[in-house]
C-alpha cells in the first residue's frame, strides 16, 4: 500500500515537475519553464525568482515564458507567485 501524500502540490505545476519534486533530493536544482500572466511585469517576477535562489536562464517577453534554474525546495514558492500561470520541468540539473 502506498502512503498518501501529506501535502497537496499546487495545481499550476505540470506532471513532470510534480514527479521530480516528489522524487528528487531536497537539495537538487531543477530547470523549469514558467508561463507568465500578461497582467504582470516579467521583470518584477524575474527579480522575485532570483530572491528565491533561482537563476533566470532566458526570458521571452513576447511568449510570456521564463526558463529558470531553481532549487527544488523553492518550487512551491515559485508556483504560488502571483502572475505565474504554469510551471513545467525543462530538465534536471546535476552539478
Question: Per the domain annotation, does 11 fall within a domain?
Answer: no
Q: How many domains, in total, are found in the chain?
A: 1
Question: Per the domain annotation, does 6 fall within a domain?
Answer: no
Give residue 68's Cα distance to chain centre.
7
pLDDT(92) > 70: no
Question: Per the domain annotation, does 60 fall within a domain?
Answer: yes
Question: Per the domain annotation, does 41 fall within a domain?
Answer: yes
What is the mean predicted confidence (pLDDT) over 39-54? 86
pLDDT(93) > 90: no
Question: Per the domain annotation, does 66 fall within a domain?
Answer: yes
Question: Per the domain annotation, does 7 fall within a domain?
Answer: no
Q: Where are the beta strands (DSSP E) in 15-83?
A: 29-36, 55-60, 65-71
Q: What is the pTM of this model?
A: 0.82
pLDDT score of 26: 77
Report the CATH number at residue 27.
3.30.70.80
| Domain that residue 50 falls in | 19-93
pLDDT(5) > 60: no
Strand pairing partners for 86? 35
In tens, the pLDDT along 6-17 reads: 578 899 999 999
Amino acid at each position: 500500500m502506498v502512503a498518501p501524500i501529506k501535502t497537496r502540490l499546487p495545481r499550476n505545476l505540470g506532471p513532470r515537475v510534480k514527479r521530480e519534486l516528489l522524487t528528487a533530493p531536497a537539495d537538487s536544482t531543477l530547470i523549469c519553464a514558467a508561463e507568465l500572466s500578461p497582467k504582470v511585469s516579467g521583470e518584477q517576477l524575474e527579480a522575485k525568482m532570483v530572491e528565491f535562489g533561482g537563476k533566470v536562464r532566458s526570458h521571452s517577453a513576447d511568449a510570456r515564458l521564463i526558463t529558470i534554474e531553481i532549487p527544488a525546495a523553492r518550487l512551491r514558492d515559485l508556483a504560488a507567485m502571483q502572475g505565474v500561470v504554469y510551471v513545467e520541468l525543462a530538465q534536471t540539473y546535476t552539478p
